[in-house]
Structure 1
Amino acid sequence: MEQFVCYNGEIISEKDFSIAPNNRGFYFGDSLFESMHAHSTEIPLFSLHFDRLIQGMEVLGYEQPATFTSTLIKSGIVKLLNRNKQFKSTRVRLTVFRNPGGLYLPSNDSISYLVQTTNLDFDKLAHRLPSMIVDVFPNQIKCAGEISPFKTGNALLYVMAARYAKLNRLHDCILINQHGRYVELSSSNLFGLKGDTLVTPPLQEGCVAGVMRNYIINRLAPSIGLKTELKPISQKEFLEFDEVFSTNAVSGIRNIVGIGTKRFYSTRYRKMQSALEEMLF
């Protein structure tokens, strides 16, 4: 079936879309993106995604056109979902990139944007994904900085971590910072549960300011009687957690059962995932 994309507000056939040879997202990774979960034509966390995107655009110096508003972008996504006849769970990717011009120094800060949608192989949240065995990605660190909270087109660190996981028969890898502390996984944030407290690294450690991370801290955890604590996580502290989870906006919460020879319990994961699904959908 023919698929469509939304480019600068216009719905066009995917086969008719192409980028310019000097596209700055392609040349320099000069882009930002958001991966969202749509169910039917609802995007439960859209406002959090859009707010993070605008913050990232401000940091990168992108101009925000008058037509790039929360209302208009959401309307365009809904039109695209309808055009592609995607009425179950769908991954929506919104990419913003600086328009061509200049080398490292851009000649202008105007932007273009692209929306793409793909069907997910699960409905609502991912209850049936296998429990994860992970390990530390040893080849590169992630440092905190002005752009570390955002999802940029310069994602080679995550590509290499995901590739390392596959080559080593792992489900994912944990990224560490310059202090040797745990930051996040290749495509998700990291949480540990100790008693009734959920622990996750603060942004100062270098992790992405995850939309699902935000929602769990501010909405889910209080609703199910859990406290949250933002604190650095050392290797020793990680191994002392009762349970460990990865979180992202598309699949929700996924449990981690092992790192190296260490195994974790997995007694509260499904209840948390079910509570999250009920709140979102």
Structure 2
Amino acid sequence: MINCNGSLFPEEKEILTYANRGLKYGDALFETLRCVNGTLFFWEDHYFRLMASMRTLRMEIPMEFTLEFLEEEIKKTITKNELENKAVRVRLTIYRNEGGLYLPETNAISYLIETTLLDSPFYIINEGDYEVELFKDYYVNKDLLSTLKTTNTILNVVASVYAKENGYANCLLVNTDKQVVEAINGNLFVVKGDTIKTPPLGDGCLNGIIRKKLMEVIEATEEFQMVEESISPFELQKADELFITNSILGIQPISKYRKKQFANTVAKKLVGKLNAKARMT
């Protein structure tokens, strides 16, 4: 079942029309998060990121759009799909209502909630092969819009096709200054010795929730130093480890970039701490 503005519909029901602004203009935002046994992982962070993003895009935030209201709607959808005691992937999409061309006729919004069963209730490390390559056909802009989780993701789509065509598990995206900013589906962390580095938001990377939470985890340790700093492509092959983070996978180690094979020792140390932090939400 799909939740559209509080009403539940079968998945095969045609809900959206040809005039949908998310379809026509990419005029939409979304949040993807984990829910395990009725607990929404890092829900407050997702909610406040969504509200900030809606304000940035000049969307009208309904009076009823409280933290509690949206949580209730998500849980209602999960229960209707009989997933309340499972691990669930939740996608909440916000789109501006129909009307207008580039200039909307209204800033009022609608929402969709989708749920999908996940294999594991916890973040786990995938120790299989995971080779990546740089995607340099097109670039991420160094601006605020690049940090938002919008449906305008054509760069990620084209990079995904490139990765599949060339046998890579993922690609790393670069910005207009030729700095590495993120992966197709998550933020990038680079480990060298006891230093863990991730690009700053000013470089155009997604303002990821797991990025934020993992930085908090790392900063709380005495073992590692957390650094927000631009990453040159030349640093990648000199690193001890590379890994990607997002709200569904948690931490995904990169096993190979070009001729360099990477370990996943640090990723394994951090995933337990990330799970512990998630259980506290």
TM superposition score category, shorter chain reference: over 0.9
The match for 1:99 among 74, 81, 97 is 97
Q: Please list, as runs of the form range in 1=range in 2, the aligned pairs for 1:25-44 lying within 5 A after superposition.
A: 25-44=22-41
Cα distance in 2 between the residues matched to 1:9 and 1:131:
42
Cross-structure match for 1:13: 10
Cα distance in 2 between the residues matched to 1:220 and 1:232:
18
Contact 2:35 2:88 in 1 (8 A): yes
Cα distance in 1 between the residues matched to 2:31 and 2:42:
11
3-state secondary structure, aligned to 1:229 = strand
Stretch moving more, 105-114 or 224-233? 224-233
Contact 1:190 1:246 in 2 (8 A): yes
Cross-structure match for 1:117: 115
Cross-structure match for 2:21: 24
Cα distance in 2 between the residues matched to 1:82 and 1:255:
33
Quote the offset at 1:223 in angstroms. Answer: 4.3
Cross-structure match for 1:139: 137
Cα distance in 1 between the residues matched to 2:267 and 2:219:
12
The match for 1:83 among 75, 80, 83 is 80
The match for 1:182 among 148, 161, 180 is 180
The match for 1:193 among 160, 176, 191 is 191
| Paired residues, number | 278
Instruction: Summarize the Cα distance change of 1:128–1:259 in structure 2 as closer, same or farther, 3 Å threshold.
Output: closer
Cα distance in 2 between the residues matched to 1:137 and 1:121:
30
Cα distance in 2 between the residues matched to 1:203 and 1:186:
16
Instruction: Summarize the Cα distance change of 1:107–1:270 in structure 2 as closer, same or farther, 3 Å threshold.
Output: same
The match for 1:57 among 54, 59, 72 is 54
Contact 1:174 1:186 in 2 (8 A): yes
Quote the offset at 1:220 in angstroms. Answer: 4.8
TM norm structure 1: 0.94
Cα distance in 1 between the residues matched to 2:221 and 2:81:
35
Deviation sequence 1:57-111 (CA, Å, 0-9, x none): 0110000001111110001111111111112211100000000110001111000
Quote the offset at 1:265 in angstroms. Answer: 2.3
Stretch moving more, 138-147 or 107-116? 138-147
Contact 2:189 2:196 in 1 (8 A): yes
Cα distance in 1 between the residues matched to 2:219 and 2:255:
21
Cα distance in 2 between the residues matched to 1:82 and 1:97:
24
Unmatched 5+ residue regions in structure 1? none
Stretch moving more, 10-19 or 62-71? 10-19
Cross-structure match for 1:237: 235
What code does the residue aligned with 2:34 have?
Answer: H
Deviation sequence 1:194-219 (CA, Å, 0-9, x none): 22221000011110000000111123
What code does the residue aligned with 2:183 have?
Answer: L
Cross-structure match for 2:213: 215
Quote the offset at 1:46 in angstroms. Answer: 0.9
Cα distance in 1 between the residues matched to 2:218 and 2:91:
24
Cross-structure match for 2:204: 206
Instruction: Summarize the Cα distance change of 1:90–1:129 in structure 2 as closer, same or farther, 3 Å threshold.
Output: farther
Cα distance in 1 between the residues matched to 2:129 and 2:190:
15
TM norm structure 2: 0.94
Instruction: Summarize the Cα distance change of 1:180–1:56 in structure 2 as closer, same or farther, 3 Å threshold.
Output: same
What code does the residue aligned with 1:68 have?
Answer: F
Quote the offset at 1:6 in angstroms. Answer: 1.2
Contact 1:35 1:91 in 2 (8 A): yes
Quote the offset at 1:16 in angstroms. Answer: 2.9
The match for 1:156 among 149, 154, 157 is 154
- Percent identical pairs in the alignment equals 34
What code does the residue aligned with 1:96 have?
Answer: I
Deviation sequence 1:158-191 (CA, Å, 0-9, x none): 1111111111111100000111110100001000
